[in-house]
C-alpha cells in the first residue's frame, strides 16, 4: 500500500489533499508542521511521497525538506511543495534543496494526481474520481 505524508498547518487544506490522495487508494498520514512530519518520517521510513506546505509554525517547510534530504534513507522520497509562496527564486531554491516539484495554491486535483502518478510508478494507471 502506498503511503503519502501530508504536511500543512491548515486542517482544511489537509482535508482536501486527503480526499484527492485517498481517491488513488493511498494511505494518508498527516502532520501539522515540519517537526511533526520529521518525527513521522523517522517512525515510518516506508512513506512513499510527501506533499508539504512551506509556511508553517514550529518548523518551516524549507527546513523540513533540508533536514529530510540530509538523511540517506529519505533522499529518494519525492516531495511536492504546495504553497502560496511562488517566486521563481523560491521554487529554484526548493528544487535545489531536494523538492521534486512545486504547485502554487490554490491547487487543483489533477496537479496532485499528476505528481503522484509521475513519481510513484504503481499509480500510473490510476484515475481519480473527480
Nearest-angstrom CA–CA distance, 58 and 72: 24
The band of 130, judged by pLDDT with boundaries at 50, 70 and 90, is very low
Domain presence at residue 85: yes
Residue 127 belongs to some domain of the structure: no
Q: Is 126 a domain residue?
A: no
Q: Is the pLDDT of residue 123 over 90?
A: no
The pLDDT tens digits for 36-75 are 999 999 999 999 999 999 999 999 999 999 999 999 999 9
Q: At 91, phi and psi to the nearest 5? A: -60, -45
Q: Could you give the CA distance from residue 10 to residue 32 in angstroms, rounded to a whole number? A: 7
Q: Does residue 92 sit within a domain?
A: yes
Q: Quick check: is 128 in a domain?
A: no
pLDDT at position 83 is: 94
pTM, rounded to two decimals: 0.93
Distance CA 14, CA 93 (A): 24
Instruction: Give residue 129's pLDDT.
Output: 44
CATH number at residue 43: 3.40.50.2300
Query: Mean of the per-residue pLDDT values for the chain?
Result: 92
Q: In what order do the strands lie in the sheet with 49-52?
A: 27-31, 3-7, 49-52, 79-83, 101-104
Q: Give the total number of structural domains in the chain.
A: 1
Residue 127 has pLDDT above 70, yes or no: no
User: What pLDDT score was predicted for residue 63?
Assistant: 95
Opening angle at CA 66, ends 77 and 11, nearest 5: 75
The DSSP H or E segment spanning 30 is strand 27-31
- Bridge partners, residue 83, by sequence: 104
User: Nine-digit cell at 53?
Assistant: 506546505
Residue 64 lies in a domain: yes
Could you give the CA distance from residue 108 to residue 114 in angstroms, rounded to a whole number?
A: 10
Which residue range is the domain that position 82 belongs to?
Answer: 3-120
* Partners of residue 28 on adjacent β-strands: 4
Whether 125 is covered by a domain: the verdict is no
Length of the chain: 130
Rounded Cα gap, residues 44 and 85, in angstroms: 28
Amino acid at each position: 500500500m502506498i503511503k503519502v505524508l501530508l504536511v500543512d498547518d491548515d486542517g482544511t487544506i489537509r482535508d482536501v489533499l486527503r480526499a484527492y490522495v485517498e481517491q488513488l487508494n493511498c494511505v494518508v498520514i498527516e502532520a501539522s508542521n515540519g517537526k511533526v512530519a520529521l518525527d513521522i518520517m523517522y517512525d515510518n521510513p516506508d512513506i512513499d511521497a510527501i506533499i508539504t506546505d512551506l509556511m508553517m509554525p514550529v518548523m518551516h517547510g524549507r527546513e523540513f525538506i533540508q533536514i529530510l534530504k540530509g538523511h540517506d534513507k529519505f533522499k529518494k522520497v519525492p516531495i511536492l511543495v504546495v504553497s502560496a509562496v511562488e517566486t521563481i527564486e523560491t521554487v529554484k531554491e526548493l528544487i535545489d534543496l531536494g523538492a521534486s516539484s512545486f504547485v502554487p495554491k490554490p491547487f487543483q486535483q489533477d496537479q496532485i494526481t499528476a505528481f503522484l502518478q509521475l513519481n510513484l510508478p504503481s499509480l500510473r494507471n490510476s484515475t481519480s474520481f473527480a
